[in-house]
């Protein structure tokens, strides 16, 4: 076997599949940073990349990620906590949370997903994982927080909730405070902590939303989705006494066209600004794609099932947009720790 056959040669499409990056972005890197990439090999009429180009492109992409300001060596660093919510169920929130975590991981950030749908958890099903210790064991003090982070697809961490456990969904104030304290420890284990909240406006949902550094609303063109999302945002704002200036984002899911997605995003942000004085930044959209249903049926994240599908590329764009907006100053303190301190100082539980 000669050397050319011993090591496979790759097209730009092959490298996109391996890295999860869009072909247009890879071609941009190729044109702008040729010296950082291995020399291409002529095979027939085509110039192809050697195997080591995959790692080279990944290094290039990590260098383009937002740079973090240096911190004193003795200062702890905490993960960025992003709560993904909707108000209404059935909008694809959990699928987006899982695949967004995978996209962030592929961009070089250690990401952990917390299934915050207490009592009706199902993110492990979408990830193709068997049931494992999670929030139930955490609250029962049967495990340390770090022991509950299971390995998910593409190396992400997953902390499962509890399925069909009424006691967990209806947990009292003391139990919820134990959970908040434990999750503050988890913040040190990751660069980004994504919390997939439950639907509705229950106390458990509001705990996660009040604690998060940032909130991402998943909305659809359905009028009830917009109404419920606005109602939840209004409730959060009232609970904070109108003094909440954390970043609020939106993503439009299940849209038929780009124009429809833009209209939906504008309606939501316009209502938030007009009636609440809140700024909502739309970071993208996800058009309808049969890949989602096919992947769910196979218990596989759609971004792993078909990395080059439209829905996977749109989710990658969401991850890029979120990382571009990173606020490094938030990482010097714990989001859950700040929320627990607010409760201890007389904030509403």
Buried/exposed 13-41: b ≥16 CB within 10 Å, e otherwise: ebbbbbbbbbeebbeebbeeeeeebeebe
Res 2 pLDDT > 50: no
Domain ranges (residues) in the chain: 3-64, 80-344
* CATH number at 80-344: 3.40.50.300
Q: Where are the extended beta strands (E) located within 143-190? A: 150-151, 157-159
Q: How confident is the model at residue 349 (pLDDT cuts 50, 70, 90)?
A: very low
Strand partners, 252: 219, 285
The pLDDT assigned to 166 comes to 40
Domain 80-344 in the same topology as domain 3-64: no
pTM (2 decimals)? 0.75
Res 215 pLDDT > 90: yes
* Residue in the block written with tokens 């969401």: 318
Q: Mean pLDDT, to the nearest integer, of 52-62?
A: 89
Could you tell me which CATH class the domain 3-64 is placed in? mainly alpha
pLDDT tens by residue, 286-308:
999 999 999 999 999 999 999 99
The pLDDT assigned to 143 comes to 59
- What token pair was written down for 151? 């390995």
């Amino acid at each position: 076997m000669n050397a050319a056959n011993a090591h496979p040669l790759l097209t730009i499409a092959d490298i996109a599949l391996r890295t999860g990056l869009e072909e247009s972005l890879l071609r941009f890197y190729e044109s702008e940073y040729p010296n950082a990439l291995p020399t291409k090999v002529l095979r027939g009429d085509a110039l192809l990349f050697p195997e080591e180009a995959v790692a080279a492109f990944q290094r290039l992409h990590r260098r383009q990620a937002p740079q973090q300001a240096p911190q004193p060596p003795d200062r702890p660093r905490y993960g960025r906590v992003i709560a993904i919510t909707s108000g209404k169920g059935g909008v694809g929130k959990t699928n987006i949370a899982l695949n967004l975590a995978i996209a962030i991981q592929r961009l070089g950030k250690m990401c952990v997903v917390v299934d915050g749908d207490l009592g009706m958890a199902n993110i492990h099903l979408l990830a193709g994982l068997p049931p494992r210790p999670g929030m139930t064991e955490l609250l029962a003090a049967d495990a340390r927080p770090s022991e509950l982070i299971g390995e998910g697809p593409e190396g992400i961490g997953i902390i499962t909730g509890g399925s069909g456990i009424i006691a967990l969904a209806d947990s009292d104030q003391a139990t919820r405070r134990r959970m908040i304290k434990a999750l503050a420890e988890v913040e040190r284990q990751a660069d980004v902590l994504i919390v997939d909240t439950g639907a509705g406006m229950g106390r458990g949902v509001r705990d996660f939303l009040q604690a998060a550094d940032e909130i991402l609303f998943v909305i659809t063109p359905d009028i009830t989705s917009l109404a419920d999302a606005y109602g939840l945002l209004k409730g959060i704002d009232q609970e904070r006494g109108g003094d909440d200036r954390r970043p609020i984002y939106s993503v439009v899911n299940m849209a038929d066209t780009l124009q429809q997605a833009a209209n939906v995003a504008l309606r939501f942000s316009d209502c938030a600004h007009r009636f609440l004085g809140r700024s909502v930044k739309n970071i993208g959209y996800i058009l309808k794609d049969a890949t989602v249903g096919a992947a769910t049926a196979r218990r596989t994240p759609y971004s792993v099932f078909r990395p080059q599908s439209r829905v996977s590329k749109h989710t990658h764009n969401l991850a890029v947009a979120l990382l571009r907006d990173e606020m490094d100053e938030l990482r010097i303190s714990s989001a859950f720790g700040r929320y627990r301190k607010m409760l201890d100082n007389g904030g509403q539980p």
